[in-house]
Structure 1
Amino acid sequence: MSHAIVAAADAGGLDPDQVRDRVKELLARDAEAAFLRRASRDQYEAAREAAPDAVHHPRSGLVVLTRPRPRPCSRVPLPVAVVSAGTADLPVAEEAMVAAHTFGLPATLTADVGVAGLHRLLAVRDELDLARLLIVVAGMDGALPSVVARLSSRPVVAVPTSVGYGSSEGGLAALAALLTSGAPGLAVTGIDDGLGAAVLARRLMT
């Protein structure tokens, strides 16, 4: 039987002893890669006691616990393009990009190209077309992934974020807008799930 692709847990609310125990559980699953999500610096230090090679990415809070295993050769060595609507969406975009790199997928990040400044998106359209798959991260009204899916011939994985105000409801408005989009070639993850988008990219590209 093949190994699982990913083992992951959220660090929210865990004390140092619980972090160490949770990390040991994740490593015991013998997955291709293991992650601790949304970890503080103190939680990272506790994680390192169980996984000395762990690497922390402070903006996203993602801790990569294991070195990635060699990835089966992809048929097309084109990158994943991670696209962020605004700077507030960058923690989720970083989670997606770091996870993609951990899986051995080449990945690029294009930030701050939300539809409020559509000219910025159009300026990088040719670059995005060089990717094999696009992960598009957006909060507020969640408009960017739908626009990208209509401009590009590549598959698009949309990640709604909890960024927003007014009636955004912690990302529910963006999620609902994406689920009712109707844009061709668009798949949608849960709110703030950059890791889930990277796992999907890994499964689609290898």
Structure 2
Amino acid sequence: MDVNKILNDVKIGNMSIEDAEEQLKKLPYEDLGYAKLDHHRKIRQGFAEVIFCQSKTDEHLVQIYEDLYKQDREVFGTRASEHQYECVKNIIPEIQYDRVSRILKYENKEKVRKGCIVICTGGTADIPVAEEAAQTAEFFGNHVERLYDVGVAGVHRLLSNMDTLRKGNCVVAVAGMEGALASVVAGLVEKPVIAVPTSVGYGANFGGMSALLTMINSCANGISVVNIDNGYGAGYISSQINRLAIQTN
């Protein structure tokens, strides 16, 4: 909810006081009984509430999407299935679904994306998690540069892209197996590195635990680590860092 826009619309006569009052009644949240939609979040934190689609019932998911879409004319959800996409498409025909990242969204096509976040992966198997991070950051208004399949098994691939790597106000390093990519990247750049361990790997990877422990125990400086496969978390915090960098400049 854009309170400034509501107040300005009232001021110039595009909205009645009664309509404005009706919209503002939804602050700080809208109680649907089974869910409390946090319309106030964008005002408090700068980014609107995001839907975690996994495990939600069809009825609940559809109602949440419909309400958030009506409120902001934009809506963003993670970990959505094909079935959930079909359900939501019935009420929001223009909804977009990306099968790689499992993002289910509708966004303003004229959105201006600022600054720069670089997102890199160890291998192509890490791309679904990286795309969750990239599309989250893009939805929140950030320019994203992608560097995929530049892992330590062929580190020359990373080194040949140093100009791109150094453009970012921060770097998101997504890797499974042993997760060494984040340490290598952090040793090459002066910007914060957000490490994302993925569950990609053979048995001793333990579903991403080996990559997580490598990243937590890195001797390189300037690394923060999110949970296993948490592309959304990395996309969010990288958006915060990029926004601060833009404000500083």
Q: TM-score range by the shorter chain?
A: 0.7 to 0.9
Instruction: Quote the residue 1:187 is aligned against.
Output: 224
One of 42, 63, 67 as aligned partner of 2:83: 42
Instruction: Name the SS for the 2:146 alignment partner.
Output: strand
* C-alpha separation in 1, matches of 2:110 and 2:227: 26
Instruction: Name the SS for the 1:80 alignment partner.
Output: strand
One of 233, 242, 247 as aligned partner of 1:196: 233
Deviation per CA, 1:79-110: give whole Å up to 9, x if none. Answer: 11110110000001111111111111110111
* C-alpha separation in 2, matches of 1:139 and 1:78: 27
One of 54, 57, 73 as aligned partner of 2:98: 57
Which region of structure 1 is more displaced relative to structure 2, 90-99 or 46-55? 46-55
One of 175, 179, 187 as aligned partner of 2:212: 175
> Partner letter of residue 54 of structure 1?
I
For normalisation by structure 2, the TM-score amounts to 0.72
Instruction: Name the SS for the 2:238 alignment partner.
Output: helix
* C-alpha separation in 1, matches of 2:104 and 2:206: 27
1:150 is aligned to 2:187: yes
How far off is 1:15 after superposition? 4.3
Q: Any conservation in 1 of the 2:96–2:106 contact (CA below 8 Å)?
A: yes
Query: In the comparison of the two structures, how many residue pairs are matched?
Result: 201
Q: 1:163 to 1:49 in 2, by over 3 A?
A: same
* C-alpha separation in 1, matches of 2:73 and 2:192: 24
Q: Any conservation in 2 of the 1:33–1:69 contact (CA below 8 Å)?
A: no
Q: 1:115 to 1:158 in 2, by over 3 A?
A: same
Instruction: Quote the residue 1:113 is aligned against.
Output: 150
Q: Map 1:118-133 to 2 at 5 A.
A: 118-133=155-170
Q: 1:180 to 1:50 in 2, by over 3 A?
A: farther
* C-alpha separation in 1, matches of 2:76 and 2:111: 17
How far off is 1:182 after superposition? 2.9
Q: What 5-or-longer segments of structure 1 have no aligned partner? A: none
One of 72, 91, 99 as aligned partner of 2:128: 91
> Partner letter of residue 200 of structure 2?
V
Kindly report the root-mean-square deviation, in angstroms, between the aligned alpha carbons of the 2 structures: 2.5
Instruction: Name the SS for the 2:168 alignment partner.
Output: coil
Which region of structure 1 is more displaced relative to structure 2, 177-186 or 47-56? 47-56
Instruction: Quote the residue 1:9 is aligned against.
Output: 51
Higher RCO (CA-CA < 8 Å; seq separation 6+): 1
Q: Any conservation in 1 of the 2:178–2:210 contact (CA below 8 Å)?
A: yes
How far off is 1:157 after superposition? 0.9
Q: State which structure, 1 or 2, has the greater radius of gyration over its C-alpha atoms.
A: 2
Q: What 5-or-longer segments of structure 2 have no aligned partner? A: 1-39, 244-249
